[in-house]
Amino acid sequence: MSKRISVAVLGAGGRMGAEAVAAVEAAEDLELVAALGRGDALEQVLKAGATHVVDLTVPDATEANVRFAVEHGLHAVVGTTGWTEARRAALTDALAEHPEVGVLIAPNFALGSVLASAFAAQAAQYFESVEIIELHHPNKVDAPSGTAVRTAELIAAERAAAACGASPDATETALDGARGADVEGVRVHSVRLRGLVAHQEVLLGSAGEQLTLRHDSYDRASFMPGVLLGLRKVAQRPGLTYGLDGYLDLGR
Ligand SMILES: NC(=O)C1=CN([C@@H]2O[C@H](COP(=O)(O)OP(=O)(O)OC[C@H]3O[C@@H](n4cnc5c(N)ncnc54)[C@H](O)[C@@H]3O)[C@@H](O)[C@H]2O)C=CC1
Ligand SMILES: O=C(O)C1=N[C@H](C(=O)O)C[C@H](O)C1
């Protein structure tokens, strides 16, 4: 059997981290060598001999964690939100100093979600209107979700390339927040509701018709195939990959 991939999970005590620890332990080609929580020294990852890091922490911690991994030649698979364009640009600069290192930042690891976002982007140029509703558990610390931001970015890029106009909207007066957040010209509405896990609808409308693309994660198990795929591929993909779609063959 070929050598197993040595993995450290950061944020191991969290909802996603605990699921990732179990998934790595269950995979024959992966070995869990470290599981760190808040306050644990990152040097433990080095002492444990990890070659790969999974970051499932919080937006305030993820940038420093990933920077540490890159500077020590470790590949990183990152699910934590908060990776703005500025943060990604700084990370790309850091990776230039370590050209052998791969980092995957995946706003969503669920394959169905990645496909739904890609389909939405593909469809967006053919409709006058597009809005996003993301729905999550009420313990989520950020809004809008990383997935919604990424979906809006993909949609905006496709609509710009096709020279689409703005979605029609005659609103003249509204309470603050009533029309959601504006992400690159796409309205994003965030619902936080007990009982939910992670869900998203992209609503596309033209005269007389509507297309709704909905994805539901009912359980965090849905994210694990993407985490494992990332761990298995990231070392062969040096530099920064933003979005798990970069590792899939979506025919585009
Ligand atoms: N990409 C994806 O498919 C998914 C991404 N997420 C994202 O992953 C992140 C974590 O989500 P949850 O697990 O629900 O949150 P959580 O709050 O349950 O877990 C975060 C954990 O990280 C720990 N932590 C904080 N700072 C740390 C540090 N410096 N080092 C190590 N551990 C640290 C916390 O103590 C906590 O245990 C969020 O940004 C969330 O949006 C969540 C689900 C899926
Ligand atoms: O916090 C969560 O739960 C999730 N976070 C990610 C996001 O912000 O998009 C991925 C998924 O939606 C679950």
172 burial type by CB count under 10 A (0-12 exposed, 13-18 middle, 19+ buried): exposed
d(CA 129, CA 39): 46
Q: Is 147 in the pocket of ligand 2 (CB under 6 A)?
A: yes
Q: Whose CA is nearest to atom 4 of ligand 2?
A: 198
At residue 3, the pLDDT reads: 82
Cα torsion 112, 64, 236, 25 to 10°: value is: -60
d(CA 47, CA 203): 49
Cα dist from 103 to 87, 166, 209, 213, 222, whole Å: 13, 34, 41, 29, 21
- Note the ligand closest to the C-alpha atom of 67: 1
Per-residue pLDDT reduced to its tens digit, 120-147: 999 999 999 999 999 999 999 999 999 9
* Ligand 2 centroid, distance to 146 Cα (angstroms): 6
Q: Per-residue pLDDT for 23 more than 60?
A: yes
Report H helices in the chain: 15-26, 43-47, 59-71, 85-96, 111-124, 146-161, 224-233
pLDDT tier, 56 (very low <50, low <70, confident <90, very high otherwise): very high
d(CA 12, CA 18): 5
Q: Per-residue pLDDT for 157 more than 90?
A: yes
At residue 103, the pLDDT reads: 98
pLDDT tier, 250 (very low <50, low <70, confident <90, very high otherwise): confident
* Ligand 1 centroid, distance to 64 Cα (angstroms): 14
| Residue whose CB lies within 8 A of the most ligand 2 atoms, among 141, 147, 214, 215, for a mutation test | 147
At residue 1, the pLDDT reads: 57
Q: Which atom of ligand 1 sits closest to the CA of residue 42?
A: 30
At 150, list the tokens: 């990424």
Q: Is 58 in the pocket of ligand 1 (CB under 6 A)?
A: yes
d(CA 48, CA 35): 10
Q: Is 145 in the pocket of ligand 2 (CB under 6 A)?
A: yes
The sheet with strand 102-105 has its strands ordered as 30-36, 5-10, 52-55, 75-78, 102-105, 239-242
| Residue whose CB lies within 8 A of the most ligand 1 atoms, among 36, 38, 83, for a mutation test | 38
Average pLDDT over residues 3-28: 97
Average pLDDT over residues 27-34: 98
d(CA 145, CA 83): 11
Q: Which atom of ligand 1 sits closest to the CA of residue 146?
A: 41
d(CA 47, CA 61): 21
Q: Is 217 in the pocket of ligand 1 (CB under 6 A)?
A: no
Average pLDDT over residues 222-227: 98
Record the pTM: 0.97
Cα dist from 206 to 116, 125, 169, 180, 200, whole Å: 19, 11, 13, 20, 20
Q: Which atom of ligand 2 sits closest to the CA of residue 16?
A: 3
Going by C-alpha positions, the residue among 99, 98, 117 that lies closest to residue 107 is: 117
* Ligand 2 centroid, distance to 174 Cα (angstroms): 28
Per-residue pLDDT reduced to its tens digit, 158-211: 999 999 999 999 999 999 999 999 999 999 999 999 999 999 999 999 999 999
Q: Is 136 in the pocket of ligand 2 (CB under 6 A)?
A: yes
Q: Per-residue pLDDT for 251 more than 90?
A: no
Task: Quote the percentage of the chain above a pLDDT of 70.
Answer: 99
Per the prediction, the chain carries an average pLDDT of 97
Q: Please state the residue numbers annotated as binding site for NAD(+).
A: 11-16, 79-81, 106-109
Please give the backbone phi and psi of residue 53, each rounded to the nearest 5 degrees, phi first. -120, 140
Domains and CATH numbers, the chain: 5-105+220-247 (3.40.50.720), 111-217 (3.30.360.10)
164-169-174 Cα angle (round to 5):
145
